[in-house]
A and B are shown apart, each in its own frame.
Chain A
Amino acid sequence: QQQVKQSPQSLIVQKGGISIINCAYENTAFDYFPWYQQFPGKGPALLIAIRPDVSEKKEGRFTISFNKSAKQFSLHIMDSQPGDSATYFCAASTPRGYGGSQGNLIFGKGTKLSVKP
């Protein structure tokens, strides 16, 4: 079973601090790595995504760092705000046709982030 391992399970950060969430994967065929944000009672929504041909992608206060050789990627939230309090999921997918896969999207178990004012 393809797996994406996410840590920590929960994270408490002071307002203005940096939140860091890490993910590791096993399947080297993964070629798309999105992060999703979920607020209580809502479905997850895409936050930011990266392909393995770049080592970093930044969108506003959110940055993905990608280490292909270590098979790890992380989400950094700069200047964390109470409104960032949510559950964050990393995910990965394989190309269609690889090993019989049709491009499925596999998620980590999530990190519950609380940003204290």
Chain B
Amino acid sequence: GAGVSQSPSNKVTEKGKDVELRCDPISGHTALYWYRQSLGQGLEFLIYFQGNSAPDKSGLPSDRFSAERTGGSVSTLTIQRTQQEDSAVYLCASSLGLSVGTEAFFGQGTRLTVV
């Protein structure tokens, strides 16, 4: 595809259920980022993948959150035992990652609502 694709665009889930959010980065982009944006808030860093290096997981808020990136392409963010405070827009971005300063392209995000 031409841009970063995220699915689903909207997800409503019951408290306590697990959810999986998917990100398809731009083809050839080695860097992939996940951010969380709560209503009216900034972009909270969650996790960063760069090529085959170990991911930077320093932003994951709890052990209920995990992410993986298969084959250096598609990434899945998993939230286990969802809580109401997990409700937010989850944004994925990718970049060429060849050097610092390459543009990060964002997807439209997945709006997660935990009821």
Q: A43-B109, A44-B106, A51-B101 are in contact. Are A107 and B43 (CB under 8 A)?
A: yes
**Which of A32, A41, A102 is close to B48, meaning CB atoms less than 8 Å apart?**
A102
A68 to chain B, nearest CB (A): 16
B33 within 8 A of A: yes
Contact A107 B56 (CB under 8 A): no
A42 within 8 A of B: yes
Chain A window 1-24, contacts with chain B (Cβ cutoff 8 Å), 1 for yes, 0 for no: 100001000000000000000000
- Range class of the B interface residue count: 20 to 34
Residue of A nearest to B33 (CB): A105
Q: A102-B50, A103-B31 are in contact. Are A34 and B42 (CB under 8 A)?
A: no
A28 to chain B, nearest CB (A): 14
Residue of B nearest to A104 (CB): B48
Q: A103-B50, A104-B56, A107-B45 are in contact. Are A43 and B107 (CB under 8 A)?
A: yes
Chain A window 102-114, contacts with chain B (Cβ cutoff 8 Å), 1 for yes, 0 for no: 1111111110100
Tell me which residues across on chain A come within 8 A of B101, comparing CB atoms. 31-32, 49, 51, 93
Contact A43 B108 (CB under 8 A): yes
A94 within 8 A of B: yes
A75 to chain B, nearest CB (A): 15
Residue of B nearest to A103 (CB): B100
Tell me which residues across on chain A come within 8 A of B65, comparing CB atoms. none
Q: What residues of chain A have their CB less than 8 Å away from a CB belonging to chain B?
A: 1, 6, 31-32, 34, 36, 41-46, 49, 51, 89, 93-96, 101-110, 112
By Cβ-Cβ distance, the 7 closest A-B pairs, closest first, are A43-B106, A109-B42, A107-B43, A32-B101, A102-B50, A110-B42, A46-B103
